[in-house]
Amino acid sequence: MSKVESISQISIKNILFLTDFSEPSEAALPFAASIARRLGAKVYALHLFLPAAYSYTTPELTVAAIEAEEEGAKVEMQAVESQLAGLAHESVVERGVGVWDGVEQSIRDLHIDLVVLGTHGRTRAEKFLLGSVAEEIFRRSPVPVLTIGPGVRSSVHSGGRFHRVLFATDFTAPSLSAAPHAVSLAQENQAGLILVHVMRHPRQRNAEEKKQFELSVAEAIHKLYETVPKDAELHYQPEVAVEYGEPAERIVETARERGADLIVLGVRDAKGHIGAATHLERATAHKVVAHAACPVLTVRG
C-alpha cells in the first residue's frame, strides 16, 4: 500500500438534501442544515416524485390523482423550507420514473459536493430513501454521501461539527479512498481521529479473504498510521484500533466505545443494478449505516 503523502481540504459549497418526507428524512434535515450553516454552503432540497401506478381507473382520473400527489409533495416541501430559513437554499419537486437518475442529474447540474439523506436501514425499499435505494445512492454517487441511519439521534449533530471521527479500512483501494476525507474532517473540526481495521476470525473468512496476505496486528497498526499523511495538521495524535470479529459489528461497537460522532467508510461502486449486483444483507457499509449511533459518511472508491 502506498502512503498518502499529502492532504487537501475538502470543500463543501453545495449540499443536496434528499427527502421523501418520511421520519428518516426529517431526522436527516438538521444535519444538512447545521453543516450548511457552519460552512456557509447552499442546500438544495430535492424530492423526486414517483407517480403511483393506478389501476382500474380512467386516464383522466389517473392524471388528476398524479397531479394531486404532486401538489401534496409541494405542500410538504414548504415544511422543509421552513427549517432552512436563514440559509441559502432552493427546493425542487421533480417527477420521475426512478430515483438514481434524478439524483445523478442533480449532482451534476447543481455542482453538488455532499449528499445528505436519511434511511430506515431496511433492505426492502418501501419508500424513496429506505433500504436498498439509499445504498444505491451511496454506491453510485461521485461525491460523498452522509447517511443518517435509524439509530442516530438528531441531537448529535452538534451544530454541524464533529468531535471524534472514526475511519475504518480493510486496506483495499475502495476503502482507502475515504482516508483523505476522514483526515480533512478531523483537521477542519480539530477532532480526534480513530483509525480502525477489523480482522475476521479465520473461520469467518471467505475464499477471497483467505487468499489475501495475513496481517499481523503490528503490521495492521503500521498500515493504519500510514493512511495519515505526514503533513496532516491534526489537533490530536490519531488513535488506532485493530479488532477481531465481523467487520460491521466491530466498527459500530468501536465507534460507540470510543465516542465517535462520525464514521467514514470507503465503499465499492455498484456494478449494474444495485439489487442484482451486490449482496445487500452482507454489505458491511449497509450494516454499519443500519446500526450506527452516529452518521456515516461514505466515499465511493
105-123 per-position pLDDT tens digit: 999 999 999 999 998 755 4
Question: What percentage of residues in the chain have a pLDDT greater than 70?
Answer: 77
pTM over 0.75: yes
Residue 198 has pLDDT above 70, yes or no: yes
Residue bearing the bigger pLDDT, 54 or 220: 220
User: What separation in angstroms does the CA of 280 have from each of 100, 121, 125?
Assistant: 17, 11, 12
Strands 296-300 and 164-168 come out as unpaired
Q: Which residue type, as a one-letter code, is found at position 218?
A: A
**What is the pLDDT at residue 154?**
64
CB environment 214-248: b (16+ within 10 A), e (fewer)? eeeeeebbebbebbbeeebeeeeebebbbbeebbb
Mean pLDDT of the chain: 83
Residue 191 CA to residue 198 CA, distance in Å, equals 22
Cell matching residue 196? 480502525
**C-beta separation of 87 from 34 below 8 A:** no
* Domains parsed from the chain with CATH numbers: 14-148 (3.40.50.620), 154-300 (3.40.50.620)
What confidence score (pLDDT) does residue 59 get? 66
Residue 37, judged by CB atoms within 10 A of its CB (0-12, 13-18, 19+), counts as: middle
Residue 189, pLDDT above cutoff 60: yes
Determine how β-strand 42-49 pairs with β-strand 89-95: parallel
Which CA distances in Å does 220 have to 124, 166, 181, 185, 266? 36, 16, 20, 23, 17
Please list the helix, strand and coil fractions of the chain in percent, rounded to the nearest 5, in that order.
40, 20, 40
Q: Which of 60-74, 124-138, 142-156, 279-293 has the highest mean pLDDT?
A: 142-156
**Type of residue numbered 157:** H
22, 130 Cβ separation under 8 angstroms: yes
Neighbour order of strands in the sheet with 114-118: 89-95, 42-49, 14-18, 114-118, 145-148, 296-300, 262-267, 164-168, 192-199, 239-244
At 250 the pLDDT is 96
Q: What is the mean pLDDT of residues 222-238?
A: 94
* pLDDT for 63: 66
Q: Is the pLDDT of residue 32 over 60?
A: yes
CB count in 10 Å sphere of residue 140: 16
pLDDT of residue 128: 43
Confidence label for 239 from pLDDT (cuts 50, 70 and 90): very high
Q: Are 173 and 218 in contact (CB under 8 A)?
A: no
Do 160 and 32 touch, CB atoms closer than 8 A? Answer: no
Helix (H) or strand (E) holding 115: strand 114-118
Higher pLDDT, 131 or 286: 286
Distance CA 12, CA 228 (A): 21
Which band of pLDDT confidence, cut at 50, 70 and 90, is reported for residue 130? very low
pLDDT at residue 203 in the model: 59
Predicted confidence (pLDDT) per residue in 249-291, tens digit: 999 999 999 999 999 999 988 764 444 333 333 478 989 999 9
127 three-class SS: coil
